[in-house]
A = this chain, B = another copy of it.
Amino acid sequence: MAGNSFGKKFVITTFGESHGKAIGGIIDGCPSNITLDLEAIQDELKRRKPGQSKLVTQRKEEDEVIFLSGIFEGKTLGTPIAFQIMNTNSKSNDYDLLKDACRPSHADYVYQQKYKHRDYRGGGRSSARETAARVVAGAIAKQIIKPVEIQAYVSSVGSISVSKKYTELDLSLTETNAVRCPDIETALQMEQLILQTKKKGNTVGGIITCVIKNVPVGLGEPVFDRLEANLAKAMLSINACKGFSLGSGFEGTKMFGSQHNDYYNADGTTKTNFSGGIQGGISNGMDIYFDVAFKPVATLLQPQEMLISGGTLKTIQGKGRHDACVLPRAVPIVEAMAALVLVDFMV
């Protein structure tokens, strides 16, 4: 069954295996006659790409996006926008050792069981490399939904958390450090934790907080396509994501209704915003904010016991490069998916 498309009106379909010829996608449903800032799209890819700092995986990929259709004389045609990013750094030989191995907490085993044939090189389709295509589509979406503004940041790495709420932070500081955490002091601690973890060939998880401002009232469709339902799906479709919470989230479950209810001002805004900008599945014009939980990624540069085809277990040393913490690179992915959710209700 097909499952590589997202959206109903602004539909992105992605393709590509980690070590195939290319990854990319098609956007169907993009409005016509919109001037696209192609450089801004490439900039978003740079925020996601490997090797951007000492914190992240050093796989060298230029990740240059090429557009094949749908844009003419700098403006969208209203026809499908196809794009691709070549896989330039695909040393497949590195993976020969893993040909018959199922790495723990990877998709190797379930892909083998489900498809009976898999591209074992670097995770194939299950690789997070696929998310580069989402970032391209999201970057286009961001331009279309303006003046809606989406800003995500790393709010925790392992046990180190930003203690302030997003409203107390200066989000413009997010891009000033490699961790992408706007609380500079905490960012430094996070950085150290990541580097220590990296040295051990280990990985660590964390949380990304995403804030959306200038949202018009009325986005979202009851009852199944509620705005928060689509956001949750979007986030949980990102590799390594294990949780989503909107507004007061899990903490809000401890509150009483009299505390949690967001009382109105006369202009329709609310005094508090425990709801996280969505009521009854529809945006109410207040900031939308939510948390996204990421597990520590499964690729370790340590010896690990793996399941070998035929049913034996074997300890194999992890090789090559790895992301000790994906959170910094996941920030633009979270933003892209949020943009794709919103644009689908706005075109």
Say yes or no: is A52 at the interface (Cβ < 8 Å to chain B): no
Q: Is the CB of B207 within 8 A of A253?
A: yes
Q: Is the CB of B250 within 8 A of A207?
A: yes
Query: Which residues of chain A from 9 to 47 have any CB-CB distance to chain B below 8 Å in the complex?
Result: 9-11, 13-17, 20-26, 28-29, 32-33
Residues of chain B with a CB closer than 8 A to A235's CB? 232
What 1/0 mask marks residues of chain A from 78 to 110 whose CB sits below 8 Å from any chain B CB? 111110100000000000000000101111011
User: What is the interface size of chain A, counting residues whose CB is below 8 A from a CB of the partner?
Assistant: 147
Q: Is the CB of A254 within 8 A of B26?
A: no
Say yes or no: is A222 at the interface (Cβ < 8 Å to chain B): yes
Say yes or no: is A203 at the interface (Cβ < 8 Å to chain B): yes
Q: Is the CB of A13 within 8 A of B229?
A: no
Which 8 A-B residue pairs are closest in the complex by CB-CB distance?
A107-B280, A3-B221, A243-B245, A3-B225, A2-B29, A203-B257, A233-B233, A205-B253
What 1/0 mask marks residues of chain A from 251 to 293 whose CB sits below 8 Å from any chain B CB? 0111111111111111110100011100111111000000101
Q: Which of B115, B250, B295, B302 contacts A293 (CB 8 A)?
A: B250
Q: Is the CB of B258 within 8 A of A222?
A: no
Q: Which of B10, B15, B126, B274 contacts A69 (CB 8 A)?
A: B15
Given that A217-B113, A252-B295, A254-B159 are contacting pairs, would A21 and B69 also be in contact in the complex, using a CB cutoff of 8 Å? yes
- Name A residues whose Cβ lies closer than 8 Å to a Cβ of B: 1-11, 13-17, 20-26, 28-29, 32-33, 66-70, 72-73, 75-82, 84, 102, 104-107, 109-111, 113-119, 124-126, 130, 156, 158-159, 197, 202-207, 217-218, 220-226, 228-237, 239, 241-250, 252-268, 270, 274-276, 279-284, 291, 293-300, 302, 304-307, 311-313, 345
Q: Which of A16, A224, A274, A299: most chain B Cβ within 10 A?
A: A224
Given that A9-B1, A197-B256 are contacting pairs, would A300 and B114 also be in contact in the complex, using a CB cutoff of 8 Å? no
Residues of chain B with a CB closer than 8 A to A234's CB? 229
Q: Is the CB of A125 within 8 A of B77?
A: yes
Q: Is the CB of A115 within 8 A of B32?
A: yes
Q: Which of B16, B26, B119, B232 contacts A233 (CB 8 A)?
A: B232
